[in-house]
Structure 1
Amino acid sequence: MTSTETAKLSPNVMAEAEGKGTSRLPKWLRLLLKSKTGTTGFIILTIVTVTAIFAPWIAPYDPVEQHVVDMLAPPFWLEGGSSKYILGTDNLGRDLLSRIIYGSQVSLIVGLFAVIVAGAIGLTVGLVSGFYGGWIDNVFMRLVDSFLAIPNILFTLVILKLTGPGLMTLIVVLGVTNWVVYARVIRSEVLSLKEREFVRAARSIGVRDGAIMFKHLLPNVFSSFSVIATLSMATTIISEASLSFLGLGIQPPIVSWGGMLSTGREYLATNWGLATFPGLAITITTLGIIFLGDWLRDVFDPRSQDY
């Protein structure tokens, strides 16, 4: 095709030809690549997830293996550091890098499953409350108000003190204490959606209430649910680290970033890396999740002009 013939092509044809290569990519991936924030969050979360899954093959040492002669060894790039320990060792001679790698497993497991528990409760309450209204709505909303009246951290501390710390206990407690935000947002959307024509049409042909809620309303509120779940996961990881720091979360010998912070605080003056590196791991992971959540919010926001 000559340059003259090319110039005669319409702008739409030219745009289609230019975008043909990128159209093969999934839509979500093309939207993700347009957002620096979303791409950064996705890369961080992918690295943390891969690290957690392949921890036994990535970690240079067993996280509980003690090297007594190398206790409190500094990172290899500092004076007195050894090339055997990239980030140094802790007060018992355990490799800090290996412990941080294994600690990612606990953070992701607690964050993911606590969000699943909270999301399942909040989604169900929000759908039922918004759909039926009346006294059912009043009962659920007063329950929501009761949870909001008690600080989450106080409620969590009381339950953990009564039941005792542990991985499963922590997941259930964090899930039960964080479902309120899901319920409030989902309920407000259902109150609007249930007056739409497609819901009235479903009722007119005799579709059951359960089918309407979970087959027709649920897909329409799932975007908001996804955004809340993503941002809530970051908060949950911080909560787990805080509780482990206080000794009420994950217990040794299971490795957790919060527990490493608790140990490292006693050596800040002599070996700052014991607390700094786990703290950086928590910060970077939560920032990655928040970045990804912000991108999801922009993608699902119909008023957004970026996408």
Structure 2
Amino acid sequence: MEAKWLEDFLSLAETRSFSRAASDRHLTQSALSRRIAALETWLDAKLIDRTVSPIRLTATGMVFRGQAAEILRGIYAARTLARAHELVTDGARVVRLSVVHTLLFTFLPHRLRKLKDDRRHLKTKVQAVNVPDGIQALVEGETDLLLAYHHPQLPIAVDTDRFPFLTLGHERLIPVSAADVHGNPSYRLPGDDEEPLPFMAYSAGTFLGNLVEMLMLNAHLGCSLQRTFEAHMAEAVKAMVVAGNGIGWLPESCIARELHEKSVAVAGGDAWATNLEIRLYRAADNRSAAASELWDWMSRFGAA
């Protein structure tokens, strides 16, 4: 049996049409029919009732549909696992790098491109993480390096003797809103109790979400906000802010182009902003030569 036969069968079960399934699978109808027949021969069972239009699954076909989907999920998962294992163990030149989501979009791409030019022999396996998962991966040895934000009032809870870090840069977390025709923010802090500002918020417990809560608690003036949107990722908050749906806090690098183009504007003064440090962590006892080489390269070029 071939995996593609199962994919053919599931497509046919979904569309109930040989012509549509063949089109979706980029096959001729005759080729699709032959592959379905081959699957039925292998199973020694009829899966499709071809005597009616649109076609329908036999009783056996209905039972097998769920099994086919489960088999394919297992095949795909096994293939992903095997590829990941091969990447990690393919010599000593692969570095497992965990990166918090926002830095994956802003800080990392340019530096990976520069790394490719400077250290072509080094390979990276990059995984997007939230801060807690990234810390756990670092502590448990499931990643070589962790690239994350740091704030002194919300520090990453690791022993820096065991997990030293490099400071690779700084940026600000700022409140922003879509701009009006004059380039002014459509929504501006602190807002009005009679008409609270629509707040594009981070989900509870996220690093950036905790920072925003800290800013609001420490502000000299109270603010009037109404949560109308929540998301884990800064890119989702950004999309809602840029579309004019409300006010949100974003790392400045995440919104730099829109600020330059004046499609968004800063929606509050310095009291509503805070500085972030960009840090690269590693385990002191990590003996990976590739990780050490990338660490050294980052210390010299990573902040450029």
TM-score normalised per structure 2 = 0.21
Name the structure where helix makes up a greater proportion of residues: 1
Q: Which has the larger radius of gyration?
A: 2
